Amino acid sequence: MHDGKDDDDMDAVLNKSSDDAGKRKSKSAANKSLITRNLRMAYGEVAGEGVPDRFLDLLSQLDEREGKKS
Amino acid sequence: MSNLASFKADLIELLPSLRAFARSLAHNPALADDLVQDTLVKALANVERFEPGTNLRAWLFTILRNHYYSQLRKSKREVEDADGKFAARMSSRPEQDGSVDLEDFKVAFQQLAPDHREVLTLVGASGCSYEEAAQICGCAVGTIKSRVNRARRKLADLLGLDEEDTPVPSEARRIEDTASV
């Protein structure tokens, strides 16, 4: 009863499904790195802008407090 | 250096990433910088509550996100209307090589819910660990991990990226998905 044909068929099925799984995995990994790359670019664009003076002015309050303390 | 002077130096060093985090929550640059401004005012008013040597970035990011969400709750309508002005359409489908245009990426990103934008930015771009992100968002590490995964899948879908071997979603399906999440 065992002529190997069924096994071959089964192998073909198994290989096919593991191929699909591999494809899915690599696709999702590729998407993940694409998303991370773009997230970092978008974040880096803003982080790379100069910091507005008004924030630095605000923080100079700390110098005044420092002056009062000593 | 005194405590205050080193606190100030550390704050200045963190300003660029604080602004970038704010921009990922409030897309409008002016609104984002207002968030930063309010965060700094709160930080200055609470300097003595900050324990030197602990994580200043997490402290600042926490103040900023809490402020953002409280504003969002207070003026949900206005914020939604404001966001609507910036709603834009993606100009193109992903390229054959799987790359996407950065401007298209930003458009898709802005369509995500705030809690998805937040975790993706913290974990994916700012370099926060899962633990740090959990601290900032006030939830469990496991929650952050699953939220990051859901956010990534959602974003891949919005970008029209083929995540599994299913056909690329049609425009209609993408709109429906956006509404249901």
What is the C-alpha separation between A55 and B7, in angstroms, rounded? 14
pLDDT given at position B1: 67
A contacts of B15 (beta carbons < 8 Å): 51, 55
As for how many domains chain B has, the answer is: 2
pLDDT given at position B52: 87
**B125 and B73 in one domain?**
no
CATH number at residue B107: 1.10.10.10
**B66 and B22 in one domain?**
yes
Q: Inspect the interface and report whether the beta carbons of A27 and B164 lie closer than 8 Å.
A: yes
**B162 and B103 in one domain?**
yes
pLDDT given at position B111: 95
Complex-level ipTM: 0.80
**B107 and B31 in one domain?**
no
**B102 and B81 in one domain?**
no
Q: Inspect the interface and report whether the beta carbons of A58 and B161 lie closer than 8 Å.
A: no
Name residues whose C-beta falls within 8 Å of residue B156's C-beta, 6 or more positions apart in sequence.
A28, A31, A35, B163
Residue among B23, B40, B121 minimizing CB distance to A55? B40
pLDDT given at position A4: 46
Nearest CA in chain A to B150: A32
Q: Inspect the interface and report whether the beta carbons of A51 and B12 lie closer than 8 Å.
A: yes
Burial B129-168 (b: 16+ CB within 10 A, else e): ebebbbbbbeeeeebbeebbebbbbbbbbbbbbbbeeeee
Q: Inspect the interface and report whether the beta carbons of A55 and B152 lie closer than 8 Å.
A: no
**B135 and B157 in one domain?**
yes
**Inter-residue contact B36 to B22 (CB < 8 Å):** yes
Average pLDDT over residues A33-60: 95
Chain A interface with B: residues with Cβ < 8 Å: 20, 23-24, 27-28, 30-32, 34-36, 38-44, 46-49, 51-52, 54-56, 58-59, 61-63, 65-66, 69
**Inter-residue contact B139 to B94 (CB < 8 Å):** no
Name residues whose C-beta falls within 8 Å of residue A16's C-beta, 6 or more positions apart in sequence.
none
The answer to whether residue A41 scores a pLDDT higher than 80 is yes
Both tokens of residue B164? 């599994």
**B181 and B93 in one domain?**
yes
**B111 and B41 in one domain?**
no
Q: Inspect the interface and report whether the beta carbons of B125 and A43 lie closer than 8 Å.
A: yes
Residue B29, Cβ neighbours under 10 Å: how many?
13
CATH number at residue B70: 1.10.1740.10
Residue B41 domain boundaries? 1-87
Q: Which residue has the higher pLDDT, A1 or B140?
A: B140
Which SS3 state, helix, strand or coil, does residue B164 take?
coil
Q: C-alpha distances in angstroms, B6 versus A62, B12, B26?
A: 10, 10, 29
Please list the ranges in chain B whose pLDDT falls under 50.
79, 84-86, 166-168, 170, 172-181
**Inter-residue contact A51 to B19 (CB < 8 Å):** yes
Q: Inspect the interface and report whether the beta carbons of A51 and B126 lie closer than 8 Å.
A: no
Q: Inspect the interface and report whether the beta carbons of B12 and A56 lie closer than 8 Å.
A: yes
B contacts of A66 (beta carbons < 8 Å): 2, 4-5
Burial B66-103 (b: 16+ CB within 10 A, else e): ebbeebeeeeeeebeeeeeeeeeebeeebeeeeebeee
Which SS3 state, helix, strand or coil, does residue A27 take?
helix
Distinct helix (H) and strand (E) counts, chain A: 3, 0
